[in-house]
Amino acid sequence: MRYTTAVSLSRLSSTIVSDLLDQIRCGQLLAVDSHKRGGLIVFKPFHAEFAGPGAAFGSVFDQDCTGVLPVGDFAAVTPQSQEDRQKAYLIRRQWIRLIQQITDNPESHDRVRMLVNQFNNYFDWLTVSQLPDEAFALMIGVLPQTVSEVRARLGQVS
């Protein structure tokens, strides 16, 4: 299944998000298609995680998922073999570690700048600029206002 979105919450098809949430809540293991430049922000009760290309999502990892936000040229695939599943789990772990390294920085403005730069390195400027401040804030433990301030300084308004 392939979903291409403009990323803006107001433009997202509620059907796409609803279908993904249903699959995740049913415990289905999926992965972000590694052949696309897309990803998925997975919202949890008190934080958000990013699953980039190749990363697993769903199954037991995301049972507490409260929402999702497809990013870029997002496509979900079902890992077919045990090897595919294991590789997807490892990639999800790598994405979590990357965000953790950013979160380890004690300065909130630096965390925002680092995260926005990571996303800008992978996605086009328009895609990143349309991501909500709240999504970035939940990924790195800062206030949405902090994200807004830093993005304004970087010339990237959400």
Looking at per-residue pLDDT, the higher value among 60 and 88 belongs to 88
Handedness of CA 103, 104, 105, 107 (dihedral sign): positive
pLDDT digits (tens, 9 = 90+) for 11-53: 446 788 889 999 999 999 999 999 999 999 999 999 999 999 9
What count of residues does the chain have?
158
Which regions of 55-110 does DSSP assign to beta strands (E)?
A: 56-58, 67-72, 76-77
What's the confidence (pLDDT) of residue 15?
A: 82
Q: Taking the model in full, what pTM does it have?
A: 0.88
Task: Identify whether the C-beta of residue 75 lies closer than 8 Å to the C-beta of residue 1.
Answer: yes
pLDDT digits (tens, 9 = 90+) for 43-79: 999 999 999 999 999 999 899 999 999 999 999 999 9
Annotated domain spans of the chain: 14-153
Q: Looking up tokens 């897309």, which residue turns up?
A: 38
Percent share of the chain, pLDDT over 70: 90
Mean pLDDT of 120-140: 95
Give CA separation, 90 vs 37, 42, 51, 65, in Å. 19, 17, 11, 20
What's the alpha-carbon Rg for the chain, to the nearest Å?
A: 15
Task: Identify whether the C-beta of residue 53 lies closer than 8 Å to the C-beta of residue 33.
Answer: yes
pLDDT digits (tens, 9 = 90+) for 116-125: 999 999 999 8
* CA–CA distance, 91 with 94 (Å, rounded to integer): 5
For residue 53, give both structure tokens: 């290309």
